Amino acid sequence: MLRYKDYRQLIDRVNAGKNINLWGKPNIGKTLTVKNCLLKDINLESVYLNLEYPFSVEHLFNVIPMSFSFYYQHDWQNIISKLSDGYNRLLVIDNFDRLHFVSNTFSNDLFRLQQLAQLENFSLLLISRIPLEYFHFSGFANYFEKLELNETNTWTFGQ
């Protein structure tokens, strides 16, 4: 779990429409913090997607509009315009580092995610094991603020 000050900062940034790359070593509590706390503590329409197996990355961009109740939308530009209307929304993509390894259309996928990251009232929260710039797409990383979960900003529970 993130310490209160860092957790409060994460909530404030997500509520303000900022894009966040939450990263850190495996099993340090990134998913627990987001799924069990953050998604319950914010008032945004939120969707949590996990790219861990068996999720098919090929269907990611079909799942996003369906998750936000745009069931019959197939044109990505129309989806972008609908997501830019109205109130703030949050899309969480957990295990984001899997996208880099399994996507056959990676540059197109990254372009679509960049379009989401540029929206004013839409926040992307990407959870990964390493920061985005380590994936060698620094232009995309410029749309995100980094927050590392490590031993200094998390509460650890002893056994």
Domain with residue 79: its CATH number is 3.40.50.300
Give the per-residue pLDDT at 39. 93
Give the per-residue pLDDT at 41. 92
Q: Which domain holds residue 116?
A: 4-157
| Count of residues making up the chain | 159
Residues contacting residue 94 through CB under 8 Å, at least 6 positions apart: 30, 31, 34, 48, 49, 50, 51, 52, 127
What is the residue whose two structure tokens read 């590392």? 148
Q: Residue 39 corresponds to which tokens in the numbers above?
A: 């998604």
Give the per-residue pLDDT at 102. 62
| pTM, full prediction | 0.89
- Which amino acid, 158? G
Domain count for the chain: 1
Rounded-to-integer distance, Cα 25 and Cα 130, Å: 8
Q: Residues of the chain whose pLDDT is less than 70? A: 56-57, 73, 100-103, 156-159
Please state, in angstroms and as integers, the Cα–Cα distance from residue 45 to each residue in 1, 14, 58, 121, 122, following that order.
Answer: 22, 12, 24, 11, 10
